Amino acid sequence: MNTSLYISSGALQAYQQKIDTSANNIANVNTPGFKRKDQSFSEILASQLNNQGRTDQEVGRLTPDGLRVGYGTRTGLTQLVMEQGQAISTGNPFDLMIQGKGFFQVGYPSSTVGGADEVRYSRDGNFHLSPNPTKQGSYHLVNANGGYLLDQNGKPIELDGQYEVSIDGNGQMNLRSKDGSGTPFISAQQVGIVDIQNPHVLKNMGGNEFSIDSTVLPTGANASDYVKMMQPADVQIASGFLEGSNVELTKEMTDLMTTQRGFQMNARAVSYADQMIGIANGILK
């Protein structure tokens, strides 16, 4: 039995996963609102062997009796890093950037008849106007995946085509008639920004969106317990900007480099283990 072969090949798997994570981060270096993932390693099992039964003869030991052997490494935590990405000025009034905490709520109509609408959470503020199919002259704000931006009550934001819209710093929408008549007023709907108390419960849904992972919630808890609607005073939104990805290419490349070297060294260790088996085989030629 050559344990070092299994230790090193198991480590190769963990290092490969870290390279995969870095690759995904680098691939999304230009994705608006993307939050990078940070992967760390963790030690796995250890067991105790008692290879010398006569412990009274084990003089001069520093450690307790027995031999404790470790069995390598595995992927520990893959954390979502919520650091702010840099601001990208686009000039499009419906490009929104959250400064500080919070997520946009994005609603999708349920595919099952009568089912509850699905809500996902995103930091990607790339929204555009889309005509409301059920009402002439009315528009929704939708994102690149076709999800509706929701307001403070969880309803899709609806804009009337006759008004000019500007979104202010706390998510309120100022409306003004396009022909200049009437006084400007504030819409009853505002961009609903939610704070997710514990990002641990978020599940990556792809398309730059997250949903609450109901499988990790403690028994008796609802997804809604983890989502808090932020008050307009606490919300900071910049209209005309997109939040860039928070991936730093230099950091990712250095990470990738050290991980790749770690991978190589463990591959070499596999080769050493193999050589040792070969040597043992060579006793009898």
Partner 1 sequence: MLRGLYSAASGMFSLERRQETLSNNLANAQTPGFKKDDTVMRAFPKLLVERIRDYNETIPGANGLTIPGQGVPVGELANGVYAQERIPSFLQGALVQTDQPLDIAIDDQNIPLQVVNGRTVKPTAFFAVELPDGSVGYTRNGKWDLDSNGNLVTSDGYKILGADHKPIQVTSGVSKDDLYIDADGQLIANPNDAANARQVGKIGMVVVQNPYDLTRQGGNVYKSENPLPFIQDAGGTNPGVTLHQGYVEQSNVDPGQTMADMMMTVRAYEANQKVVSVYNQSLEQLYSVGKING
**By C-beta, is 167 or 193 nearer to partner 1?**
193
The binder of partner 1 chosen from 50, 53, 83, 250 (CB under 8 A): 83
- Residue 28 sits in the site that holds partner 1 (CB under 8 A): no
Q: Distance between CA 9 and CA 15 in Å, rounded?
A: 10
- Taking the least distance from each CB to partner 1, the nearer of 242 and 273 is 273
Among 43, 89, 153, 222, binds partner 1 (CB under 8 A): 43
Q: Are strands 37-43 and 73-80 parallel, antiparallel or unpaired?
A: antiparallel
Q: How far is the CB of 73 from partner 1 (least distance, A)?
A: 4
Residues in region 241-260 near partner 1 by CB under 8 A: 258-259
- CA 253 → CA 84, 136, 216, distances in Å? 20, 51, 32
* Interface of this chain with partner 1, residues 94 to 153, rule: CB under 8 A: 101
Residue 62 lies near partner 1 (rule: CB under 8 A):
yes
Q: What is the rounded distance in angstroms from the CA atom of residue 86 to the CA atom of residue 88?
A: 7
Least distance to partner 1 from the beta carbon of 39, Å? 10
CA gap 195, 193 in Å, rounded? 7
Q: Pick the binder of partner 1 from 28, 73, 208, 245 (CB under 8 A).
A: 73
- In this chain, which stretch among 136-144, 146-154, 155-163, 270-278 interacts with partner 1, using CB under 8 A? 270-278
- Applying CB under 8 A, the span of 136-144, 151-159, 192-200, 231-239 interacting with partner 1 comes to 192-200
- Is there binding between residue 22 and partner 1 (CB under 8 A)? no
Total residues interacting with partner 1, rule: CB under 8 A: 74
Pairing of strands 172-177, 118-122: unpaired
Rounded to an integer, what distance in angstroms lies between the CA atom of residue 56 and that of residue 46?
24
Q: Of 25-33, 121-129, 135-143, 268-276, which part binds partner 1 (CB under 8 A)?
A: 268-276
CB of 9 to partner 1, least distance (A): 10
CB of 229: closest distance to partner 1 in angstroms? 13
Q: How far is the CB of 258 from partner 1 (least distance, A)?
A: 7
CA-based angle 85:87:92, to the nearest 5?
130
Which one-letter DSSP state was computed for residue 9? Answer: H
Our finding on whether 69 is near partner 1 (CB under 8 A) is yes
CB atoms within 10 A of CB 227: 17
Quote the CA–CA distance of 159 and 284 in Å, as a whole number: 84
Name every residue whose Cβ is closer than 8 Å to that of residue 247 and which is 6 or more positions away in sequence: 25, 26, 28, 29, 34, 36
Residue 25's alpha-carbon distances to 17, 21, 55, 241, in angstroms, are 12, 6, 52, 22
- Give the helix/strand (H/E) hosting 280: helix 249-281
The least distance separating partner 1 from the CB of residue 151, rounded to whole angstroms, comes to 23
SS3 70: strand
Q: Interface residues for partner 1 in 215-244 (CB under 8 A)?
A: 216-218, 221, 225-226, 228
CB of residue 72 vs partner 1: minimum separation in angstroms?
4
Q: Which stretch binds partner 1 (CB under 8 A): 25-33, 48-56, 109-117, 172-180?
A: 48-56
As a whole number of angstroms, the distance between CA 101 and CA 103 comes to 7
